[in-house]
Structure 1
Amino acid sequence: MASPHYEQQYLDLMRRIWAEGDERVDRTGVGTRSVFGTMLRFDLSNGQMPLLTTKRVFWKTATREFLWFLTGDTNIRALCAQGVEIWTDWPLARYRRETGEAIDRAVFSQRIVEDADFAARWGDLGPVYGKQWVDWPVYEPAGEGVYRRRAHGVNQIADLVHELRTDPGSRRHIVEGWNVAELDAMALPPCHKTYQFHVADGRLSGVLYQRSCDVALGLPFNLWGAALFIAMLAQQCDLVPGDLVWMGGDTHLYRNHADLVEAQMARQPAGSPRLEIRRRPDSIFDYAIEDFIVHDYHPQGHLAAPVAV
């Protein structure tokens, strides 16, 4: 008997939340159905990737976002310039709230790209993912009762690559985004907050713990990003990808996503897309979007739903 398609566990999770989830009033005011404490596992050997096939996942957009994280940038300007609008809604909401101007999203994004001063004023997200990943702040004594922030913080990604190469058996291969002292300065505190990696028999596996997960819109991107992270690290450290284990805290579906959820649960997954990384750059920070190709990805039609901000 053939094994279930890797995507079936995602659909089963969606079905469980929709049928059994607790009705909750959430931060956005939209409302969710939610379960707590969930897990998915995917085999990444031979280039396999957990790309959903029951709807199109824009993996290039997710890849551009992940590469942007690795730069440590926290302004949406570079993303908007590539046509990536994943983060635009948060600065846009702040702009509308503080100025009272009902500016169109496309116009706002265009101004961000074309006007550096406007981008500096309105496009920054605060110290979100990339900042914590490559420049976690460090404070040093500078006199009695005085501490000064060091010019360069901890680059967790560079340290991770070094430790995977030199001490693969360590249990401390962790990248953390949840900087308690800086949460209030972030446009959105990190959802995919903690990554841990494990090496066994030349295989690199990873766990992603996500404190809050929008299963319909966010999770497909999160699964891709985590699997991509493992694939890039494996290449840089002369390993091969093993498993991705995804763990969710508050795992939810928004109530206004009913049409998407019902349509997707009615579809049957098929196919097995594979990732090819075309070159090995000098460091994990030197990849470009052109370095990634996905083979044999034939998803069913796109399903859209509004983002809750």
Structure 2
Amino acid sequence: MARHPEYQYLDLLEHLLEKGDRRIDRTGVGTLSAFGAMMRFDLSDGTFPAFTTKRVYWKTAIKEMLWFLTGQTNIQSLLKENVRIWTDWPLDKYRKATGEDISQEAFEERILGDDAFAEQWGDLGPVYGKQWRRWLDAEGREHDQIATVIEALKHNPASRRMLFHAWNVGELDQMALPPCHMTYQFHTAQAGDGRLKLSMLLFQRSLDIGLGAPFNCAASAALLTMMAQQVDMVPGDLIWVAGDYHLYLNHLDMAETLISRDPRPFPKLHLRRKPDSIDGYRIDDFEVTGYQPHDAIAAPVAV
């Protein structure tokens, strides 16, 4: 019997616990760090790599991906979808700037209820979506990298230049957080039924393995599925590559618990409809069946 693909993830956790380099990081929390890793997931039968050794809130992950695709950079639209994963950074900035010890809940309420406040304090700078959809070049022209990839997939699917990335050197200092999942590259091959199979490689320069990896795998699987549907291809392999992957020292107990659990079968992902463009997807378009994970594990985010 084939080994469950989630063991690729558990093996990385185990490697960090046993051999990770202990260091103090940017956040001050401290990590166990290693360099260079790869995981591969076959999505051709509808498999959705939502990890099962703890519950992954896949709807939140996909809502974030849909937000990236809009090109927006303000957390107000995320909060309207009840997604709170980006609040920590603008909240931290607001507290330091004003000295006000405001709660996260109160800050989010102000972002939602006051457009002027949201414009001043809710923007994350030119993060992912801005670079994906509105990359600004030296001549002042905007480039929609996603649209460019889709055009290449339709008209030149053997190209080796089908990629988009977010590491815009000239704008890094304006971002709340420089891009972690920074490069996405696409590749097509014959699927055997006359159609092409679309695979995607995601490179992450930096990865919080405890909180980030389960989220990023689910979100990027959704992106690959959307892209394949838009160009009438079959989803192929999702290949995840990491540079510096690390386990925060306040996540050690979580890692031990995850390793002690046996993975359960991955769920299936089905798109209920085909929108006219990549911009047309909504969270209700994603149907996930057969997801029966172990219990969720709460863990803090390092800001």
TM-score of the aligned structures, taking structure 1 as reference length? 0.95
Aligned to 2:82: 83
Aligned to 1:39: 38
Aligned to 1:143: none
Shift of 1:18: 1.1
Does structure 1 residue 171 correspond to structure 2 residue 160? yes
Aligned to 2:227: 233
Q: Contact 2:33–2:244 (CA<8 Å) still a contact in 1?
A: yes
Aligned to 1:276: 270
Aligned to 2:249: 255
Give the secondary-structure state (helix, strand or coil) at the position aligned to 1:210: strand
Counterpart code for 1:297: Y
Q: State the superposition RMSD in angstroms.
A: 0.7
Matches within 5 A, 1:1-309: 2-140=1-139, 149-150=140-141, 153-201=142-190, 202-309=196-303
Give the secondary-structure state (helix, strand or coil) at the position aligned to 2:117: helix
Shift of 1:200: 0.3
Counterpart code for 1:44: L
Give the secondary-structure state (helix, strand or coil) at the position aligned to 1:47: coil
Question: Partners of 1:46 and 1:283 in 2: how far apart?
Answer: 23
Question: Partners of 2:22 and 2:266 in 1: how far apart?
Answer: 35
Question: Partners of 1:297 and 1:276 in 2: how far apart?
Answer: 13
Aligned to 1:145: none
Give the secondary-structure state (helix, strand or coil) at the position aligned to 1:188: coil
Question: Partners of 2:109 and 2:248 in 1: how far apart?
Answer: 29
Shift of 1:49: 1.4
Shift of 1:228: 1.1
Question: Partners of 2:242 and 2:172 in 1: how far apart?
Answer: 20
Matched residues, percent identical?
56
Structure 1 segments, 4+ long, off by >4 Å, are none
Q: Contact 2:227–2:278 (CA<8 Å) still a contact in 1?
A: yes
Q: Contact 2:95–2:102 (CA<8 Å) still a contact in 1?
A: yes
Shift of 1:24: 1.1
Shift of 1:139: 2.9
Give the secondary-structure state (helix, strand or coil) at the position aligned to 1:252: strand
Question: Partners of 1:206 and 1:214 in 2: how far apart?
Answer: 21
Structure 2, unaligned runs of 5 or more: 191-195
Counterpart code for 2:163: I
Counterpart code for 2:276: D
Counterpart code for 2:41: F
TM-score of the aligned structures, taking structure 2 as reference length? 0.97
Shift of 1:303: 0.5
Give the secondary-structure state (helix, strand or coil) at the position aligned to 2:241: strand
Counterpart code for 2:121: W
Shift of 1:272: 2.4
Counterpart code for 1:233: M
Structure 1, unaligned runs of 5 or more: 141-148
Q: How many residues in Structure 1 have an aligned counterpart in Structure 2?
A: 298
Aligned to 2:193: none
